[in-house]
Amino acid sequence: MKSNNRNDQLTKFFQHNPIEDTQYLKKYVKEHPDHKMAWYLLGREYTAQGKSGKAAYCFAQAGEIYEAFEQQKIVLEEPLPPNLTASKLIKEGAAAGDRQVQLRGRRKWLPYLVMFVLLALPAGMDLAKSDGMEHVADVTEQTQAGSAVATLSDIQVDNPGLKLYFSDGDWGKKLQQILQPPVRGAGESVIMDAPPSNDGHWKEWYRSVSPLLSVEHTATGGNQAVLKYYQAQICSCQVVDSSKLVPVIQAWMHDREEAIILQSAIQAYQKKTGGLPDKPQQLTRPYPDNILPGLTPQMKESFPVALQKVAELTSGKAAQAPNLTAGTATGGQSPQSNEEKVLAASSSQPVASPEPFTEPLKIIIDTEQHQLAVVSGDFILRRYPVGLGGVKTPQGEFIISEKVRNPNGRSNGEFGSRGMTLSNTLYAIHGTNKPTSIGKDESHGCIRMLQQDVEELYNMVPGQTKVTIGKGVLPLSESGEGIGAGGGIPQQALSLPLETKDNNPGKVYKWLD
């Protein structure tokens, strides 16, 4: 911005006395979203009004401007000298450069000085898109935010102060909740999310949940906090390394997957028998009553809680939330008030909790993309490439009516090591000894899968699982990111112990390969 234009903008700006005209400031930042000092001024005004949630949002948009001024002790003498004109302040601000300014007195004139200095500087970088200030709720906690100055070098996987929050597509709302009092002590609260699909209708869990940003409360700073960013697309700042958070998030994801598999299995048993199981062993009965091949120790321990959840859903009662704790990412527990339960960290959920998943697992097969997905509600947990039969592959709704290990007694035969019959027909989802057919229409109507993929699918989905086959029923997946067992990493595929006899040596399968 040229000097004359800066002066014109400054004169126009102060015609409205912006510090006392919040509405003008709000309008101004909407018209000039790249003007970081305007965001900073609006944040200062919200701070004066006790609206620290909105202030924190503005300070985050101010980025390095906030950091530059809030990390220095800038205090102006009062009253402001009457002969100190805007032009003089601009000139002195530019001459000051990077020198630290230390004056004494109250801070009420600080925003004016800050604006003068900013107008002598180039405009800031482009900011991430936002819906505006209407989505930032009022809170009363005095928070210092917007600085991405810390690192994760001192954060350990077993850090008792590390808490994970799943944003479910609205990290701004989650940030508001975290910033609200009461302060929960020192530690880092990390907001994470699953990436959206291309069409915006799905959350692609299979591509892995990632940290977005965090709020770190200091042990000695009272209500002070530092806002840190882990994703460049939500800020115009230097992001913080998130590598040490990866194992914590992956462990949380694994717990959620096991929980929704267990709950889906209980619901499948109920659908098949008309009643609920009394013990976990009923889910791993021998063929043909096998629901799952086995249960992990964690799933067995979680069985009573999952059973209660399904019973509440069946009876139509509002499900009572488990006693969520304000524990840590490693399972520590402590009492909570009702207010705190609303804001309970996702990492403190009992391992039996399937949240954020709310619906039983289903299978969707897209004949156009030659892909099969495991979904829960609008979450895509897994996505696999498949081989189909073109018009020979039927479209419509089916259920998995039979699950069998090593069809026809072989793991390397035409049907591979696993098979799942669709609604007692001759169509099935199964492995293949022709891996080059995956992604093509070379079958006689069945759904072919690679060995590692069909074995993970067999572990994840219980008998009675709903299967939908159709055209264009999944969002486009162009990059191939996360496709396959274990989210594209076969060695990380979900596995269950074999605790039953789920083969069927007395039958020769004649699926329409």
Q: What are the residue numbers of the active site?
A: 430, 446
Rounded CA-CA distance 319/308 in Å is: 9
Provide the CB-side half-sphere exposure for 242 (13 A, CA): 22
Strand order in the sheet with 187-193: 162-166, 187-193, 210-217, 225-229
Q: How far, rounded to the nearest angstrom, does the alpha carbon of residue 210 sit from its chain's CA centroid?
A: 6
Strand locations in 455-495 (E): 466-470
Q: Is the peptide bond before 182 cis (omega within 30 degrees of 0)?
A: yes
Considering only the C-alpha atoms of the chain, give the largest distance between any 2 of them, rounded to a whole number of Å: 100
Q: Which of 149, 151, 128 shows the shortest CA–CA distance to 70? A: 149
The secondary element (H helix, E strand) that includes residue 258 is helix 246-273
> How far apart, in Å, are the Cα atoms of 350 and each of 206, 258, 312, 331, 355?
22, 12, 17, 8, 10
Rounded CA-CA distance 336/163 in Å is: 15
Rounded CA-CA distance 134/128 in Å is: 16
Residue 382, strand partner residues: 374
Rounded CA-CA distance 489/485 in Å is: 6
Residue 476 and residue 198 in contact, taking contact as beta carbons nearer than 8 Å: yes
Q: Which of 419, 345, 374 shows the shortest CA–CA distance to 261? A: 374
- Rg (alpha carbons) of the chain, rounded to whole number: 29
**φ/ψ of residue 52, rounded to 5:** -75, -25
Residue 66 and residue 146 in contact, taking contact as beta carbons nearer than 8 Å: yes
Rounded CA-CA distance 352/415 in Å is: 34
Q: Which of 383, 358, 360 shows the shortest CA–CA distance to 473? A: 383
Single-letter residue type at 428: A
Q: Which of 377, 378, 373 shows the shortest CA–CA distance to 456? A: 373
Provide the CB-side half-sphere exposure for 314 (13 A, CA): 17
Q: Which of 176, 172, 177 shows the shortest CA–CA distance to 193? A: 172
Rounded CA-CA distance 493/421 in Å is: 22
| Strand 210-217 relative to strand 225-229, pairing | antiparallel
